[in-house]
Amino acid sequence: MKKRLFLTATAVAVAALGATSAMAQADTFKIGLILPLTGQQASTGKQIEAATRLYMAQNGVNVAGKKIELIVKDDGGIPDASKRIAQELVVNDKVNVLAGFGLTPIALAVAPIATQSKTPQVIMAAATSIITEASPYIIRTSFTIPQSAVAMADWAPKNGIKKVVTLVSDYGPGIDAEKFFKDRLTFNGGQVIESLRVPLRGPDFAPFLQKVRDIKPDALFVFVPSGAGAAVMKQFLERGMDKAGIKLIGTGDLTDDDQLNDMGDGALNVVTSHHYSAAHPSALNKKFVDAFEKANKGLRPNFMAVGGYDGMRVIYEALRATKGAGGGDALLAAMKGQIFESPRGPMFIDAQTRDVVHNMYLRKVEKKDGKLYNVEFDVIKDMKDPGKTR
Ligand code: VNL
């Protein structure tokens, strides 16, 4: 009798436990954040993770009756790892949203999983134009490389730069940068006289820069992913290329806010085009930069952090708009067309392309309060991805 009572009590307890965890499950909204937290692109993962945590600290974790749970996973920047992790997050953890994606091949590797499971995939970093076309469940809050490249190709020939050598990382965004810069520069009457590509993994820029020095163009246009800019800058200066009269220009990935202040005065006056500068002069951005630095031992947020921060905004507001319903299709619909002020300036998610539309700024490296910043001096407003308007 005693034994049976005990068994029954245990069964009831177990059943109750099961019910609570099922309830917790139903009341939880899970975001699976896949980032390169180790390896060559670790700074991108660090920036984005810090930004998502800041967003949650500022906005709370209770939205529309749900408790938001962030599950952070390190893919080491390896597409196969990202794919496996995405599968586990969808099947085992039953995440409502997949987010992050530090490199283009990673975003592309995960896209079929987003499609099959009808899970929104929020791209916070990767920037090759084609990515949003890899799945109807993809939304992008980072930027597109053609946006940056075209802005620079419009600025350069108006500023005495006619003959250019391009130097890009040899994969998706680099190929986009090379093509969109060249097409637009040529259209504007300039000329790309040589196109060089360096490997993404463990690049040695020295032989390429030597070649550029011999060719002696008006300018060298560079795209390298976030985290690689300082190495390019160092070798460019060590070879005295600036003194030889070769200007250094590029997408803003080159003068990355994550590294810029340590690049030294040789970086002064370098002009780049990009959607975000930590020096963007808006009240919202000042607040964002201050809060980010305070929460991260003085680390300056870069454009990756902003992609992550805005990605969280898009997810939170989709959850709010759908009144806590976590279904992929409803969330996706609520992500499309969102328009808001970002630390970068005004932005919106084009409902047709699911891609980001925002301002492109021309910026020059200057010293402010003893520190190096990308100071914005011109703007092209509300730029769509040029890769989608061909
Ligand atoms: C990509 C584009 C990655 C721009 C980056 O840094 C970047 C990409 C990691 O699409 O792979 O700055």
Q: What is the mean pLDDT of each run of 10 residues along the chain (390 residues)?
A: 49 49 71 98 98 98 97 98 98 98 98 98 98 98 98 98 98 98 98 98 94 97 98 97 97 98 97 98 98 98 99 98 93 98 98 98 97 98 88
Ligand 1 proximity of 173 Cβ (cutoff 6 Å): yes
Q: Residues 6 or more apart from 163 whose CB is under 8 A from it?
A: 190, 191, 193, 217, 218, 219
CA of 102 to the centre of ligand 1 (A): 6
Distance CA 120, CA 118 (A): 7
Ligand 1 proximity of 177 Cβ (cutoff 6 Å): no
Distance CA 364, CA 377 (A): 7
CA of 89 to the centre of ligand 1 (A): 23
CA of 226 to the centre of ligand 1 (A): 6
CB 113 within 8 A of CB 61: no
What DSSP state is assigned to residue 36?
-
Other beta carbons less than 10 A from residue 195's beta carbon: 16
Distance CA 51, CA 276 (A): 14
Ligand 1 atom at minimal distance to the Cα of residue 127? 10
CA of 301 to the centre of ligand 1 (A): 16
Ligand 1 proximity of 102 Cβ (cutoff 6 Å): yes
CB 317 within 8 A of CB 56: no
Q: Residues 6 or more apart from 62 whose CB is under 8 A from it?
A: 68
CB 68 within 8 A of CB 56: yes
CB 127 within 8 A of CB 104: yes
Ligand 1 proximity of 226 Cβ (cutoff 6 Å): yes
Q: Which amino acid is at 286?
A: K
Give which of 288, 283, 282, 279 is closest to 306, Cα–Cα: 288
Give the pLDDT score at 18. 46
Which of 222, 253, 272 for mutating ligand 1's site (highest number of atoms within 8 Å of CB)?
253
Q: Which residues pair with residue 340 across a beta bridge? A: 347
CA of 43 to the centre of ligand 1 (A): 11
Which of 46, 82, 104, 130 for mutating ligand 1's site (highest number of atoms within 8 Å of CB)?
104
The values of phi and psi at residue 72, to 5°, are -100, 130
CB 149 within 8 A of CB 180: yes
Give the pLDDT score at 325. 87
Indicate whether this model's pTM tops 0.85: yes
Q: Per-residue b/e over 177-191, b at no fewer than 16 CB within 10 Å?
A: bbbbbbbbbeeeebe
Distance CA 61, CA 64 (A): 10
CB 41 within 8 A of CB 104: no
Ligand 1 proximity of 146 Cβ (cutoff 6 Å): no
The encoded tokens of residue 380 equal: 């092209």
Distance CA 235, CA 182 (A): 24
The encoded tokens of residue 36 equal: 């390169």
Ligand 1 proximity of 169 Cβ (cutoff 6 Å): no
